Amino acid sequence: MNDLYRKAAKIISEADALLITAGAGMGVDSGLPDFRGPEGFWKAYPPLAKFRIRFEEMANPKWFDTNPKMAWAFYGHRLNLYRNTKPHKGYEILLKIANTKPFKYFIFTSNVDGHFQKAGFDENRIVEIHGSIHYMQCSEPCSEKIWKADNIKIYINMEKFEAETLPKCPHCGAIARPNILMFGDWKWIHYRTQEQENRLYTWLNKLENQNAKIAIIEIGAGTAVPTVRHFSENIFRTFNADLIRINPRESFAPYGAISISENALTALIEINKNLQ
């Protein structure tokens, strides 16, 4: 493993730019729950175990129509959790390294927790490909408007698994929902994420024109929802970049990439030691 950390550190030190791609495994070391498999999900949300509702079923916009109190118990709990959780030291390590690069960095994440922003990463260098829980939209939707959730407070009866407060759309009065891409979701308003993607591809085109060397650090991105893994591998091939894949369970990677079977924080600490 030490040899892998040395190789990863060498790649990062020689890179002109960092592309940091992250899935749910990035947040586990901050104390966020791992929803891998129904047992992990039900451990985090015992009331849903009684109904045998899986994550893929709960993360569906239909609940805002059929049972908005339960929908907001789930998303309100997550909103409160993400607000109250501090990003682990790995974020700080990544930011310090990324800011030393001539072409800086970009983040591409499926996480909706807003922890890269909370850790100090530039809002304009982040793509939240599945949206963010810190932004709201109408559940209908009545318009394309998106607004910040800063003033929204959700109080939850965990025994009943019901929200005691239901956010409303300020434009039409319908139930509001997080601006997150859910399963079976045809109502997600995606323009905020589209603007983020546009900035990312402008940056990537600039790197290509400058013949800049890109190092991709992928962290905690699994195969269950492979959005982040597919993106990393696409950039790896298209831009002749280097890829470092960090994942304790699914670290297998394409030929020529570095595969590290470890959790996010441990791996980043070890790579940082070799950089120093």
pLDDT in tens, 69-81: 999 999 999 999 9
Q: Domains in the chain: how many in total? A: 1
Question: What burial letters (b/e) apply to 193-224, b meaning 16+ CB within 10 Å?
Answer: beebeeebeebbeebeeeebbbbbbbbbbbee
pLDDT in tens, 179-192: 999 999 999 999 99
Instruction: Indicate if the pLDDT at residue 139 is higher than 80.
Output: yes
CATH of residue 116's domain is: 3.40.50.1220
Task: Name the more confident of 86 and 38.
Answer: 86
Pairing relationship of beta strands 176-180 and 162-163 according to DSSP bridges: unpaired
Task: Give me the chain's average pLDDT, please.
Answer: 96
Q: How far apart are CA 127 and CA 220, in angstroms?
A: 16
Question: Which structural domain, as residue segments, surrounds residue 17?
Answer: 2-275
| The pLDDT value given to residue 256 | 96
Q: Which two tokens stand for residue 196?
A: 């983020």
Q: Which two tokens stand for residue 135?
A: 């932004």
Question: What burial letters (b/e) apply to 19-56, b meaning 16+ CB within 10 Å?
Answer: bbbbbbbbbbbbebebbbebeebbebbebbeeeebebe
- Phi, psi dihedrals of residue 120, rounded to the nearest 5°: 110, 5
Global pTM value? 0.96
